[in-house]
Structures are given as C-alpha cells and as structure tokens.
Amino acid sequence: MIKGGTFVGRYILLIVLFLSLNQIPAMAKERFDYEKTGKITWEVKTNEKMVAITFDDGPNPVYTPEILDVLSKHKAKATFFVVGKHANTYPEIIRREVLEGHEIANHTFNHLNILRDSQKLENEITQTSDALKEITGFSPTLFRPVGGSYNDVIINTAAENGYHVVLWSWHQDTKDWKNPGVNTITKRVISGIKPGNIILFHDSGGNRTQTIRALDRILTKLEKEGYEFVTVSEMLFRTHTTQNN
C-alpha cells in the first residue's frame, strides 16, 4: 500500500507539474500578443534611467496629500489612476495633482472589476472621464482596469473610448495594500528595479502609512542611483511607444 500510494502520489505530482509548466508559454504568449496590438503597456524598453511611479484607487483625503508631499520633496512626478467617485468627493486633491505636474488617469468610477460587460465598462470609464474633465478641464488618456485584469473586452472597450491600457511591471507590484511592512515594500522595488519599469502603489483603500514611508526611502535610494521619476505618458513619449487608441 505504501509503495503503491507513493507511486500514485508521484504520478499525480508529475501531471500537475507538467500542466503547470505548459501554462507558462500560454501566459507569456497572451501578453506578447496583446502588446503587439499597441493598446496595452506593462513596461517599456529603454536605456534611460527612468521609471514611472503609479498609484491606484485614490484620491484619499489623508494619504494622497502626504504622498504628494513626498513626491514634491524628491521632485518626482507620478501617475494617479483615480476612481471617479473619489475624484468627485475630493476634487481639490485632483487639482493639486495636476498643478504639481502629475498625470491623472482613469481607474473606473466605482472600482468595479468588469470582465465581460463592455457596455457597463464603457459607462464606468465615461463617468470617470466626465468627472475628471469637469474638475480639471480635460479628459485622461490612460486606463487601468481594476485588479490588473485584461482581456479582449477590457482592452478593446478602452481603446474604442480613446484610452491606452496601462498595467505595471510584473516584478514591481509592491503589494502595499497588504501592509507587508516598510522594509518589504522598499525591497520589492529596489531589488528588481530596471529602466522603463512601471511601479504599482496604492494611495487609498486602507491605511497607506507604510506606502508613504517606503516611497520616501525608495525615491531617496533611486535618486542616488541616477533614476528619474516621470509620468507614464512622458515615458511612453520618450521611448516612442505608440498608443493605438
């Protein structure tokens, strides 16, 4: 029984491993195919020492202003993927972001992860666009889907509404929403940093004190290494990345 059980266990393990390994090319090919359309960006190829820092889910009345203070201290520019209903509630923060040279982008109106309903997704995008135009005088051109989800519906709906989809470098998800600790957040960014990376933070959705402290450390370290902190649109423009909307 033991020998038979061991054999069966090993056989099952081999099957699971085989299936897992065969998923890797499929995932890579999926991303590659989407990138070829020019409608979505995870990161850019460049030799210039620049990165794009991004924040999701704000604005938040407590944490976003503190993040803006840290960015100002380091003369860093960032891209804020804002939730429309939060923008309506705190329009003065959105105006401050624009006045200080940051980029405002679309992250749906109600922070809904919509995968199949193109009309519902379009409504979410349009509501946020209208809100931001009312606040700032112009509509954004970048869209980040909730949860980083992407498929034909999401990408094509965004493109048809004049948006380029922006996610983030896979190794630059700080997972700060889990509050893993300032040192952990800092290490995740610093250890794998490369020119052209897009880094994911959050400025709302919970206590972002760790994010603020880690951000200051990260900017201080990367400044010493000669990095420049630019908006996503500036990085795309400087690397001649085509935005096919």
Distance CA(140)–CA(23), nearest Å, equals: 35
56 tagged catalytic: yes
pLDDT of 11: 55
Instruction: Give me the mean pLDDT over the 150-163 stretch.
Output: 97
For the segment 73-132, what is each residue's pLDDT rounded down to a tens digit?
Answer: 999 999 999 999 999 999 999 999 999 999 999 999 999 999 999 999 999 999 999 999
- Tell me the average pLDDT of the chain: 90
In angstroms, the CA 187 to CA 101 distance is 27
Backbone angles phi, psi at 81, to 5 degrees: -90, 100
- The answer to whether the CB of 199 falls within 8 A of the CB of 174 is yes
Q: Which of 56, 176, 203, 216 is catalytic?
A: 56
Tell me which of 57, 86, 202, 216 is the catalytic residue: 202
Q: What does the alpha-carbon distance between residue 165 and residue 39 come to, in Å, rounded to a whole number?
A: 6
In the chain, the percentage of residues whose pLDDT exceeds 90 is 84
pTM to 2 decimals? 0.86
Query: Does 202 participate in catalysis according to the annotation?
Result: yes
What is the Cα–Cα distance from 11 to 8, expressed in whole angstroms?
5
Helix (H) / strand (E) containing 43: none
Dist. CA 149–CA 181, nearest whole Å: 26
